[in-house]
A and B are shown apart, each in its own frame.
Chain A
Amino acid sequence: MLDIVGKRFWFFLIAGAVILISLISLLGFGLETGIEFSSGSMMTVSFEQEVDQDELKQELANLGYANAIVQRSGEGDFFIRTSTLTTEDKERLVDTLTAKFGSLTETEFHSVSPMIATETARNAAIAVAVAAVGILLYLTWAFRRMPKPFHYGTCALIALGHDVLVVLGIFSILGGILDWEINLMFITGVLAVIGYSVNNTVVVFDRIRENLKKGVGSDFEVVVNNSLVETLSRSLNTSLTTLFVVLALLFFVGASIQNFAVVLLIGIIAGTFSSLCIAPTLLIVWEKGEWGRFIRWLPLPGVKARGV
């Protein structure tokens, strides 16, 4: 039978490295915050004629919006983000652009004060914390007949933390390199990943619970491995079907939902990894008190990979 849990130290190493990179990027780049997190105006315009992005940016600079962010969001569609515009400023801008590039339709316009998103982010953080406590309590209750029910909830939360950190980290890299900004859809996406990730982990834990009850296998490690292998195709299939729809969202809805879809894409991949390779193996390490062994294993990775 496929031995998954035997490679647990490797998984920890990979997860640790990814988390470390994420943390470094978060500290270095931070997160590029969108219009919703800083005061300013955002408009979406649609030109009838073909317009060059650089020319548009140049024209905006001529108008005095040198810091304007211009993004192409579809055929002839552009996101334009500027400092806060008054109604007159906006009219002047639209008139100038019409004069230069031909007729355009303005499809969206927002002016936002910065507190709105800061408040949302703060509340999202509170919600995540409360949700974490809720998950911990429920899982501890659901696994109350197991020897150490508290372990299950905690390991699920650690896997969850891994997924969120990876999403944040990758977005901070995307922000640093491609100027991707996080917005409210990003926050919504992160919250979705949280629900998704725990869902996946619980299915594996459920099988461990069932197998422990049946008393198959004397060793906890063997039970966990069997449970993992038994639920492997389910885990991969569910991730695949969810990926299908997320990709459909990404390719067919376009820029407005891009952040949400990409967060889910990363989250599903990270979540599948953590629910298969991190959460169940952590149970074993905790059960057996292997932290010391892991540390001793670390300095010489690769030499005795199977020596667990």
Chain B
Amino acid sequence: MHRKNLLVLIIVLLLFAFSICALIYPLFGRQEMRLGLDLVGGSHLLYQARFPEGATAEEKTRSMDRALETIRTRIDKYGVTEPIIQKLEGERILVQLPGFTDIDEAKKLVEQTGFLEFREVEVNRDGQPVYLVDYLEASDFFSDEKGTRLFVDEGGNPVAFLMKNEEGVLTYVNKDGNPIDVEELREGLADLPAWIPARGDDGTVLTGSFLASATPNIISRPGGAEANVGIEWNEEGSVIFDQIAKRLYSRPYGSVERALGIFLDNVLISAPQIREPKYEGTGVITGGFSIDEVRRLANLLESGALPMPLEKPPLYEEKATLGAGFIDRSITAGVIGIILVMLFMIIYYRLPGVLASLALIFYGALVLALFKLIPVTLTLAGIGGFVLSIGMAVDANVLIFERMKEELRMGRTPGAAIEAGFDRAWTAIRDSNITTFIVCIILYWLGSSIVASAPVMGFALTLFIGVAVSMFTAIVVTRTLLRLFAGTRLVQKTSLFTAYLEKKSA
């Protein structure tokens, strides 16, 4: 019995040392406590996926998974620590970026569809470039190309899409798909060239899906640094690209029809001239970018396009919170709470109270270490749950000590009272804590199914861990410590167990 007790004590001490280590040093790749958005600040974005009509459930699932992966790649490449990217009920996607307080930048990072395509300027059957002004008078396309003609302004932004409607009539729409009045286009926009999809010899349109890699480059030049994105095509893309390059190369140098337009989400980001008939799989996108811009562009190109557009759902929340001193204040509250509880326990229960206080310190360290290692995202509500669990953590001890007092009053020796106290209190501890577990599990389950539930989930999880650990500390730690004293003479002094026991038992 004695040896077994020693063994348990050693295990408990090791566990305590381990918890302290886990809290101080990075362990299992966990650097720091994971803090929720309300504490550390950051962006919270919620999206609704929009699928084309008639998409099957299977297609939707696949697209959702790909979208999640794409967003995760983009965010990881950007270097946000511990983002949360989650698929929610009702085809919604939740993105939380702790520490990322620039919400506009966050939105750009996530929302940009990232659809990259290459276009060239349409030439008519005489080999001349086609402009908007030509189309305003025309009733049919000037070449065999069937796809949309895209017109962009000087900034590269799309002003009009030209397409044939079902009756074969030419119609102009804006980027939202709404028809535009032709008269508006006449004013000042007439000299915009018509961009048509750049196709390989077999008619395949060159898009970002043929990219193998994209890397940001910074090149120092005498006149300042130039930032560009180096791209590498995959095998198929390499063939298509060279076929297009060869065709464009035959056009006059410096003319608009020799440029290859690089369009990202229908915005022209660069239109370099084709300088060689063969590129053999590599290329460079330039366009007067800043260093940040090439980083984002390379990131966007490499992570690929989103399989579907994301839109703001009817249910949304955008947040940019800064954790203004909450953590400090919560720590103060926790420490003061613990000290008050300890004082009470020591004054009321004497020696066992001191041991329970030691157990409480062990409890705090173990719970926080678990929070860090699991990891549990600590939110304000989670801290509430933890601090509350401190109060409840002593409950098991209180139950046991009250039981011990009763046994002492009935005339048992302190050693026997300790054992009886623990044994008798067990059913009460078990049943009361199981009901708390039931509540926690149901709260957690509820939390995972809805959006605004981070507080509820955090609370449920921290309370669950807290109550589970408290059972362990009360039953194993406090008991082991008490048994250590059971053999000593100290225990014979019943006054150490309770203030007014002797009066009653006398």
Contact = CB atoms under 8 A, between A and B. Distances in A.
Interface of A: 36, 44, 46, 77, 107-113, 115-117, 119-120, 123-124, 126-127, 130-131, 134-135, 138-139, 142, 184-185, 187-189, 191-192, 194-196, 198-200, 202-203, 205-207, 209-210, 230-231, 233-234, 237-238, 240-246, 248-249, 251-254, 256-257, 260-261, 264
B439 A191 contact: yes
Q: Which of B336, B395, B463 has the most chain A CB atoms inside 10 A of its CB?
A: B395
Given A138-B435, A138-B438, A260-B381, A108 B324 contact: yes
B398 A241 contact: yes
A233 B399 CA distance: 9
B345 interface: yes
Given A135-B438, A238-B392, A202 B384 contact: no
B399 A195 contact: no
Contacts of B445: 127
8 contacts: A113-B314, A120-B453, A195-B439, A196-B436, A198-B439, A237-B348, A238-B394, A241-B344
A246 B391 contact: yes
A116 B451 CA distance: 7
Given A238-B394, A256-B380, A127 B446 contact: yes
Interface string B433-477: 111101110110110011111011001100100000000000000
Nearest to A128: B442
Interface in B301-350: 314-322, 324, 326, 329-330, 332-334, 336-338, 340-341, 344-345, 348
B408 to A, nearest CB: 14
B340 A245 contact: yes
B134 interface: no
A160 to B, nearest CB: 10
Nearest to A250: B333
B333 A188 contact: no
Given A185-B381, A256-B326, 12 more contacts: A113-B316, A120-B452, A124-B446, A131-B443, A135-B439, A142-B431, A142-B434, A191-B443, A237-B344, A242-B392, A249-B388, A257-B380
B427 interface: yes
A244 B341 contact: yes
A249 B332 CA distance: 9
B285 interface: no
Contact of A242 (B324, B334, B391, B456): B391
Contact of A127 (B385, B392, B433, B442): B442
Given A142-B431, A199-B392, A245-B390, A124 B380 contact: no
B369 interface: no
Contacts of A253: 326, 329-330, 333, 383
A252 B394 contact: no
Contacts of A131: 438-439, 442-443
A114 B315 CA distance: 8
B428 interface: yes
Contacts of A256: 38, 326, 380
A244 B460 CA distance: 21
A195 B398 contact: no
Nearest to A252: B333
Contact of A187 (B394, B456, B463): B456
A260 B384 contact: yes
A112 B317 contact: yes
**Tier of interface size on chain B:** 35 or more
Nearest to B101: A109
B260 interface: no
B392 to A, nearest CB: 6
Contacts of A242: 388, 391-392, 395
A219 B424 CA distance: 23
B319 to A, nearest CB: 5
Given A240-B344, A242-B388, A206 B431 contact: yes
A262 to B, nearest CB: 12
A185 B344 CA distance: 28
Contacts of B392: 196, 199, 238, 242
Contacts of A241: 340-341, 344-345, 391, 394-395, 398
Interface string B375-408: 0000011011101101110110011001000100
A251 B424 CA distance: 37
Contacts of B431: 139, 142, 202, 205-206
Given A245-B340, A253-B326, A113 B435 contact: no
Nearest to B424: A210
Contact of B450 (A44, A119, A192): A119
A111 B440 CA distance: 29
B429 to A, nearest CB: 9
B128 interface: no
Contact of B336 (A192, A205, A238, A248): A248
A135 B395 contact: no
B456 A119 contact: no
Contacts of B139: none
A196 B318 CA distance: 33
B406 A230 contact: yes
A191 B456 contact: yes
A108 B322 contact: yes
A54 B231 CA distance: 60
Contacts of A238: 391-392, 394-395, 398-399
Contacts of B336: 248, 252
A98 to B, nearest CB: 17
Nearest to B402: A234
Q: Which of A44, A108, A110, A199 has the most chain B CB atoms inside 10 A of its CB?
A: A199
Contacts of A46: 324
Nearest to B464: A195
A183 B480 CA distance: 43
